[in-house]
Structure 1
Amino acid sequence: MKLAIRAGRLFDGVAAEPVEHPVVLVDGGRIVAVGSGTEPPAEAEVVDLGAATLVPGFVDSHVHLVFDASTDPVSRLSDLDDDLLLDEMRARARQALAAGITTVRDLGDRGYLSLRLRDELAADPTAGPQVLAAGPPITTGRGHCWFLGGETTGGPDAVRAAVRERAARGVDVVKLMATGGELTPGTSSHLAQFAVDELAAAVDEAHRLGLPTTAHAHGATGIANAVAAGVDMIEHGTFMTADSIEPDPALIAAIAEAGIPIGATVAQKPKPGVTPPPRILKLLPLIVGLFREFRAAGIPIVCSSDFGIGPLKEPDCLPYGPTQLVTFLGDAPADALRAVTSLAADACGLGDRKGRLAAGFDADVVAVDGDPLADPAALTAVTAVFRAGVRVPLPR
C-alpha cells in the first residue's frame, strides 16, 4: 500500500525556498515522489497534516545512549547491569524518535550495547531511530571515557587491533579519543592522548575495513594529530587550552583544505535554572567566535547534541540546535536546518539515503507546527513522525 503525506509546505533538506502544498508519496519505506499541489494516486492511503511543514527526519551525529543526562552520568552508569542499561537506552531512543530524530550515531557505549539496540530497532521503526554504532570509543589507558571499556595499551599495533575488534563486532564507525575530555577526571581536554602515528594506524585500518572514523578532539595538538592522520570527521574541535580558547589559523585552514566536517555538539534543551558547567559557560563566547572562524573558512559545521552527558543534553535536545546556530553564529535558517538534516547525513556517510525529502530517499519524514525556514524554533513543535514510511505513535 502506497502512502501519500500531504501538508502545507515542505523543506526538502537542501533548498532555501519551501515547496508549497506538497505531497510526499511513499512506497516500501522509501520516497518515490515529491510533488507540489498534486493529487495523490487513487490507490494511496492519504495522511493530511493540514498546514504543517514537512522536514526530513533529523540526524544526530553524536549521541551517547548509555548516559542518562544527569549531573553525574558516569556514576549512574556504574550502578546498572547491561540488561537495565539496555532498557534505559530503549527509553532514550523512543524519546529521541518522538522529537523527530530518526537517525542517531552513537559515539560511545559500554559493552557494544548500542549494536544490540541497533539491531532491535531495525526490526521496529516505531521503537526508535536508526542507529549507527561505534561501540566503546578507542582511548588510552585511563584516558577519556576509559570506563566504557575502550582502553588500549598504546602504539600503532594495539590501536589497529582495537579497530579490528570493532570491525569484527560489526560497528558502523570508529570513534577515537584524540584528546582528554571534560567528563573524565584525570584527563584534560586540551592535552593530546594519541600520537599521530597511532591515529594514522587507526584510520588506515578502519578505511581498509570499510569504516569511517571520527575523532573527539578539543586541544590544538589533538586536532592537528587527527587532521594529519586523515580522520573523516572531528568532534568538538574547540581549540581549548588549559583555561581559554586559542584558534590556530593555519590549522583551521588545513581542516578546510581537507574538507573535514566539524561536529558542533551545541544542541541543548533549555531548562529553568540550569546552565552549562561554569568552565564551559565562561568559554562559550570564545567558542562562538571560533565557530564563526570555521564558518568563514568554509568548514562544514554539523549540528549535533552529545546527548546524555548533562542535564541540558536530553535525548530530544537536537531540534533546539538550529535556533542556537541562528542566534550565535548568525546562520540563515536554511543553513541551520541543513546542519541537522542533509549535511549531518552526508557527514555520517548516509547522504544518499537520509536527510532529504526526495525520490529514492528513506521515508523519514517529520511534520512541525510552523515554518522553520522563518523560525527554526518550529522544529521543536513536532506533530507527526514517520520512520521508514511508518507513522510513529507520539506521546500525548
Structure 2
Amino acid sequence: MHGELLALRAGHVFDGVRARRSGTVLVEDGVILDVDFTGARPPAHAEVTDFGPDAWLLPGLIDAHVHLCWDGSADAVAHVTSGDRAAVLATARDAAAATLRAGVTTVRDLGDRDYLTLALRDGVPAGERPEIVAAGPPITTPSGHCHFLGGVAQGAGALRAAVRERAERGCEVVKVMASGGRMTPGSDPARAQYRRADLRLVVDEAHRLGLSAAAHAHALGAVVDAVNAGFDSVEHFSCRTPQGSVVRRDLLDEVVRRGTFVSLTLAVRPGGALPPGVAAGHASLLDLMTEVVASGARVVAGTDSGIAPQKDHGVYPYALRQLTELGMSPLDALRAATTGAAEAVGRAGRKGVLRPGADADLLALDASPVDDIAAVTGIRAVYRAGRRVR
C-alpha cells in the first residue's frame, strides 16, 4: 500500500545543478517520484501545495562538519565530557532539531563521545532529524586534540584497530586529528600530530572497509601530509604557520589533481564575534580561502557547529553567504551546499538533488537565492523524507 502522494509546486526550482522555472515535485513514501517542468496537472489524488510564483524549491542543504553532541555553550567541552550520557544525548537531539529547522537535512558529524551520534541516528525517526553520516570519536594522539572524547590511538596496530571499531559500530567516516586544535589545552594547531605514514595507514584501512576518511588539519605540514596520504576531505585547511595561513600553489594544484574535498569552516550569525583563537589570524585565513575557491578545488562548507556560542546549531545558511564573499557565484554556492556536499559526505545521487529516486529532502524559500544568496535564510518550509517539519 502506497503512502500519500504530495505535489509541491513553486515558480522556480533549483534541482542541485541548475535553476529552472515553474516546477512541480511529486513525492511518495519519502522519495521523489518525478520533477515536472511541463506545467502538467498533478494526479487528481495528490495533495497539492503551491508555494507561489516567487517561491523556490531546492534540495535540503548539507553541512559537512557538525558536532551534534556539543551544546554550543562557552564551555562546550565540559558539557560533552560530563558523566551524564542522557544529557549529552538530549543535547544531540535538540541540536539535530535546530539544524533541521534551518533547512539542513543532511549532516556529517565529525566528533562525538561514546558513539552517541549513532544512538541518535538509530533511535530517532528519520523525519525528526537530519540524515546523519557519523564518525564517532575522532582518532587522536595521547593528550592530543580532543583526546577527552576517547579516540586515542598511537602506532600501526592501534590505528588499524580504531578504524575497524568504527566500521563495526556502523560509522561511515573516520575522522583523524592530523594537527592540534585550539580547544584542547596543551595542543598546538600549528603542529602535526601524526606522521604521514600513520595517516596513510588510516586512509588505506578506512577505504578497505568501505569508509571515507576526513582529516582535521590546521598546520601547513598536517594539511600537506593529509592531502598526500589520500584523505577524502581535509577539514579546516587552515595551512597555519607562525606567520599565519599561507598559500602554497603546488599544494592547491595537488588538491585539484586528486579531487580532494576541502571543507572550509564557515558561518557565524550576523553580529557574532569570531573565537579569539581564530580572530588573530583571520585576515590571512580569508586570503587563503579565497585562493582555495579560485583554484577550482572541490569546496564544501562545514560549520563546526556546537563548539562555541558563535557556532550554534542551525547557523549553516550563513555559510553560503560567506562562500559568495570568497568568490563563488550564488549558483555555485548552492551547488556546493547540495550536490557537491552530497558527494563529499557519501550521499551522491540520494541527497542534494531533486530528481526521481532521490530522497525527498527539500526546502521552499520565499525568494531567489540565485539573485541574493541571503534568501536561504527565508525558509517557507522544510521537508525531510517527505515529511514537512517546518
Q: TM-score, normalised by structure 2?
A: 0.96
Instruction: Give the one of 290, 298, 301 matched to 2:296.
Output: 298
Distance 2:254 2:93 in 1: 40
Instruction: Give the one of 115, 119, 123 matched to 1:112.
Output: 115
> Corresponding residue for 2:27?
26
> Corresponding residue for 1:38?
40
1:377 equivalent in alignment to 2:379: no
The 3-state SS of whatever aligns with 1:138 is coil
> Corresponding residue for 1:352?
349
1:190 equivalent in alignment to 2:193: no
Deviation digits for residues 129-162 of structure 1 (CA, Å, limit 9, x no counterpart): 011110000000011111111011x122211111
Number of paired residues? Answer: 385
> Corresponding residue for 1:262?
262
Mapped contact 2:247–2:288 kept (Cα < 8 A): yes
The 3-state SS of whatever aligns with 2:244 is coil
Instruction: Give the one of 35, 51, 61 matched to 1:49.
Output: 51
The 3-state SS of whatever aligns with 2:132 is strand
Deviation digits for residues 306-359 of structure 1 (CA, Å, limit 9, x no counterpart): 1011112111111111111112x1211001111211110011111111001112
TM-aligned CA deviation for residue 225 of structure 1: 1.4
Mapped contact 2:220–2:239 kept (Cα < 8 A): yes
Mapped contact 1:22–1:38 kept (Cα < 8 A): no
State the percentage of identical aligned residues: 46
Query: Letter of the aligned partner of 1:175 in structure 2?
Result: K
Mapped contact 1:220–1:248 kept (Cα < 8 A): no
1:335 equivalent in alignment to 2:332: yes
TM-aligned CA deviation for residue 21 of structure 1: 1.8
The 3-state SS of whatever aligns with 2:324 is helix
1:232 equivalent in alignment to 2:232: yes
TM-aligned CA deviation for residue 80 of structure 1: 5.0
Deviation digits for residues 33-92 of structure 1 (CA, Å, limit 9, x no counterpart): 111223111121112222321111011110001111122211232335111110111011
Mapped contact 2:133–2:173 kept (Cα < 8 A): yes
Q: Which aligned segments of 4 or more residues in structure 1 are displaced greater than 3 angstroms? A: none
> Corresponding residue for 1:62?
65
> Corresponding residue for 2:137?
136
Distance 2:82 2:196 in 1: 36
TM-aligned CA deviation for residue 241 of structure 1: 1.4
1:176 equivalent in alignment to 2:179: no
TM-aligned CA deviation for residue 228 of structure 1: 2.0
> Corresponding residue for 2:247?
247
Distance 2:126 2:11 in 1: 25
Distance 1:293 1:130 in 2: 31
Query: Letter of the aligned partner of 1:136 in structure 2?
Result: P
Which has the higher mean CA deviation after the structures are superposed, 313-322 or 289-298? Answer: 289-298
Distance 2:99 2:335 in 1: 19
Query: Letter of the aligned partner of 1:41 in structure 2?
Result: P
Deviation digits for residues 200-258 of structure 1 (CA, Å, limit 9, x no counterpart): 11111111111110100111111121122111110011101135112222222211111
Query: Letter of the aligned partner of 2:353 in structure 1?
Result: R
Deviation digits for residues 93-116 of structure 1 (CA, Å, limit 9, x no counterpart): 111111111111100000000001
Mapped contact 2:268–2:310 kept (Cα < 8 A): yes
Mapped contact 2:339–2:353 kept (Cα < 8 A): yes
Distance 2:332 2:310 in 1: 23
Query: Letter of the aligned partner of 1:181 in structure 2?
Result: G
* Structure 2 portions without partners, runs of 5+: none
Q: TM-score, normalised by structure 1?
A: 0.94
> Corresponding residue for 1:2?
5
TM-aligned CA deviation for residue 277 of structure 1: 2.0
Give the 5 Å matches for 1:316-331: 316-327=314-325, 329-331=326-328
* Structure 1 portions without partners, runs of 5+: none
TM-aligned CA deviation for residue 278 of structure 1: 3.0
The 3-state SS of whatever aligns with 1:70 is coil
Mapped contact 1:92–1:315 kept (Cα < 8 A): yes
The 3-state SS of whatever aligns with 1:210 is coil
Distance 2:89 2:82 in 1: 13
Mapped contact 2:127–2:385 kept (Cα < 8 A): no
Mapped contact 1:305–1:317 kept (Cα < 8 A): yes
The 3-state SS of whatever aligns with 1:71 is coil
Deviation digits for residues 344-388 of structure 1 (CA, Å, limit 9, x no counterpart): 001111111100111221110111111101111111111111111
